[in-house]
């Protein structure tokens, strides 16, 4: 028996039906996966409410307290399905060298033979949802279309928050419109039959065996980074794992910065910063992904392709990120957090519990403060519309995007990297990004504290050979009349006892202030072999006595330790062989020479 054909929509929502390539593809997937029914998700409030009611009825979602968290839900993943599975994520380019040494490669033919059969009948007993979505502002020439087919209503609900579904997407479809195709099925959730495959040549994504966000919300890392990075390389723009922040000083001068941090390293907190310095204001444009293009004025302009936040819950509090908490008061999907008896969510770092309080943990078991395991999973998440964040402003929907004055790289380095330093020029800045090293967090594999190279925070997300990716960065710089200045920050430097030397959070505005002063031409720097660091008089430390006492340790550069780092990074860069751009090798040699000179 053939699977049911895609349902025909009412006249007002049949725009996508004019695209025969789309409807033929939907029907082919339905014939293969054999769902019990096929539904086109139109993004309407009625469709969303109906979807939520069905998930509450079957236990996929649990309603939270309606007074404190109206229209909010808790979802619990399968215990084996709580993070990205990078070892099961593949780039299926035609040639292995085009995937490069940092990606897992599978030929399209092998994927067709080994992975596509796993979808055969995988949706029996389930509904197959077809979700057209738009990445980027509704009227932006830089926005892109995608369609995800999924048998997970939880995925549909998240897509409705994270992307622009409904009319915003449907009206962009015409008879010959190109779009990214994503096919997702929960399958049987077996880790042995779990694959996430990306086909750059056909702009196609397959994901089976997982319901976790990054593996199942194909609009996010799969489309907006892995596939988009390939499109960007071919078409002359940039798809980056970066937040976008607008900063206005007390004199009313506004700059926008883009910043790349590995997941769960403070990027969301920085994107929603509450400045500690009086008179400074911030505007959140994006917290995770940034698409950048060269404007008519020769500057670099950026849009946020996403419509929502898929943030890490543990550690989010009124102290660390009050704007995020303000956004989480309603219309939220929480994933793998704990639940208090009053029906409110809880996670480590949110705030104190009552004495003897018993919770329901992320697995659904009773939990007490004496339990060894955390109540919320370390990679537990919240999904919420960006428009609920108090710092999101009109730039969020600007179709032209915002001009970028500075690019910031950052990660967790306990002892080596100074609080902030400035690259010497664009090529050196590309090298700084290419040799970014950070300690891993639970967002990647569940393992924490393991240092690894993570170029531009894109190691898990670049859809092609990273040597070519570095070359693309270099070529973009040559096209810019006034390239953004490039910086590196490290909020996580510690003393010998493991105590942080920098207070972080709202105080990070002080570092951003120095960065913007450098953009505007301030000369208050101290040259070092790795780049320029601030002199103490240039960094506003008013009211931070401890930071003032620790200033020299915060900006110290140990040439011998850095030379060891250069040698280690050399081994990483050697993995790319002759494909590595000569400009990167030249920067690498020059840094080693400067460090040896400093030692001698």
At how many degrees (to 10) do helices 466-479 and 426-434 cross?
160
For 4, which DSSP code? P
Task: List binding-site positions for substrate.
Answer: 84, 212-214, 263, 379-381
Instruction: Tell me how far apart the alpha carbons of residues 163 and 310 are, in angstroms, rounded to a whole number.
Output: 11
Asked if residue 240 lies in contact with residue 260, where contact means CB atoms within 8 angstroms, the answer is yes
| From 197, 222, 265, 290, active-site residue | 265
Q: Which residues are known binding-site members?
A: 84, 212-214, 221, 241, 263-269, 288, 379-381, 412, 505-508
**Does the annotation count 265 as an active-site position?**
yes
Nearest to 140 by CA among 221, 237, 281: 237
Residues in binding site for GTP = 264-269, 381, 412, 505-508
Would strands 238-240 and 290-294 be described as parallel, antiparallel, or unpaired? antiparallel
Let me know the angle formed at the C-alpha of 418 by 529 and 103, rounded to the nearest 5 degrees. 85
3-state secondary structure 208-240: ECCCCHHHHCCHHHHHHHHHHHHHHHHHCCEEE
Angle between helices 45-58 and 153-162 (to 10 degrees): 140
Nearby residues of 123 by Cβ (< 8 Å), 6 or more positions away: 33, 34, 35, 36, 151, 185
Helix axes 466-479, 228-235, angle to 10 degrees: 50
Please report, for residues 4, 48, 86, 434, 464, the alpha-carbon distance to residue 581 in angstroms, rounded to integers and kept in the order given: 52, 49, 26, 11, 15
**Interacting residues of 315 by C-beta distance below 8 A, sequence separation 6+:** 348, 349
Q: Which residues pair with 132 in a beta bridge?
A: 147
Residue (of 184, 172, 174) closest to 135 by Cα position: 172
Phi, psi dihedral angles at 228 (to 5 degrees) = -65, -35
In the annotated binding site for Mn(2+), the residues are 221, 241, 288
**How would you classify the pairing of strands 485-489 and 402-410?**
parallel
Name the β-bridge partners of 403: 301
Helix (H, G, I), strand (E, B) or coil at 53: helix
**Alpha carbon separation from 567 to 530, 532, 561 (Å, rounded):** 14, 21, 10
Q: Where are the beta strands (DSSP E) in 288-436?
A: 290-294, 300-303, 308-312, 333-335, 338-339, 345-346, 359-360, 366-367, 381-385, 402-410, 420-422
Residues designated catalytic:
265
């Amino acid at each position: 028996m053939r699977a049911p054909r895609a349902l025909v929509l009412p006249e007002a929502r049949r725009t996508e039906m004019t695209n025969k390539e789309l409807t033929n593809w939907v029907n082919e997937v339905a014939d293969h996966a054999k769902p019990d029914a096929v539904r086109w998700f139109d993004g309407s409030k009625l469709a969303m409410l109906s979807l939520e009611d069905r998930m509450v009825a079957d236990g996929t979602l649990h309603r939270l307290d309606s007074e404190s968290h109206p229209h909010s839900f808790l979802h619990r993943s399968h215990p084996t399905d709580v993070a990205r599975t990078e070892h099961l994520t593949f780039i299926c380019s035609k040639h292995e060298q085009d995937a490069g040494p940092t990606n897992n490669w599978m030929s399209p033919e092998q994927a067709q033979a080994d992975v596509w059969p796993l979808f055969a009948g995988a949706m029996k007993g389930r509904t197959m949802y077809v979700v057209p979505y738009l990445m980027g502002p509704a009227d932006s020439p830089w926005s892109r279309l995608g369609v995800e087919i999924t048998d997970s209503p939880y995925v549909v609900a998240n897509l409705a928050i994270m992307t622009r579904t409904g009319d915003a997407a449907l009206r962009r479809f015409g008879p010959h419109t190109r779009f990214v195709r994503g096919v997702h099925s929960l399958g049987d959730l077996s880790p042995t039959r779990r694959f996430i495959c990306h086909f750059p040549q056909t702009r196609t994504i397959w994901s089976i065996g997982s319901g976790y966000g990054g593996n199942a919300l194909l609009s996010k890392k799969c489309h907006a980074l892995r596939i988009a990075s390939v499109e960007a390389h071919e078409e002359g723009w940039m798809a980056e794992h970066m937040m976008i922040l607008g900063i206005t000083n007390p004199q009313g001068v506004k700059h926008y910065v883009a910043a790349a941090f590995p997941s769960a390293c403070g990027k969301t907190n920085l994107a929603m910063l509450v400045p500690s310095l009086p008179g400074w204001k911030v505007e959140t444009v994006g917290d995770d992904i940034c698409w950048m293009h060269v404007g008519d004025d020769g500057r670099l302009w950026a849009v946020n392709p996403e419509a929502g936040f898929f943030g890490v819950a543990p550690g989010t509090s009124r102290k660390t990120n009050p704007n995020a908490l303000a956004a989480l008061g309603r219309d939220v999907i929480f994933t793998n957090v704990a639940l208090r008896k009053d029906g409110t969510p809880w996670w480590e770092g949110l705030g104190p519990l009552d004495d003897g309080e018993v919770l329901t943990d992320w697995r659904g078991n009773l939990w007490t403060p004496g339990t060894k395991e955390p109540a919320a999973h370390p990679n537990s998440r919240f999904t919420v519309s960006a428009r609920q964040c108090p710092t999101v402003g009109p730039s969020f929907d600007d179709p032209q995007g915002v001009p970028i004055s500075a690019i910031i790289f950052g990660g967790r380095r306990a002892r080596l990297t100074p609080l902030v330093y400035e690259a010497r020029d664009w090529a050196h800045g590309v090298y700084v990004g290419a040799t970014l090293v950070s300690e891993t967090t639970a967002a990647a594999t569940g393992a924490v504290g393991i240092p690894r190279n993570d170029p531009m925070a894109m190691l898990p997300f670049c859809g092609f050979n990273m040597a070519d990716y570095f070359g693309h960065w270099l070529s973009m710089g040559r096209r810019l009349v006034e390239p953004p200045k490039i910086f590196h920050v490290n909020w996580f430097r510690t003393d010998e006892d493991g105590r942080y030397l920098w207070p972080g959070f709202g105080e990070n505005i002080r570092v951003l202030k120095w960065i913007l002063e450098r953009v505007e031409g301030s000369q208050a720097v101290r040259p070092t072999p790795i780049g320029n660091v601030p002199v103490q008089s240039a960094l506003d430390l008013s009211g931070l006595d401890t930071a003032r006492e620790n200033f020299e340790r915060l900006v110290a550069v140990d040439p011998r330790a850095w030379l060891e780092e250069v040698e280690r990074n050399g081994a990483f860069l050697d993995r790319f062989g002759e494909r590595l751009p000569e400009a990167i090798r030249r920067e690498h040699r020059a840094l080693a020479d400067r460090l040896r000179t400093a030692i001698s």
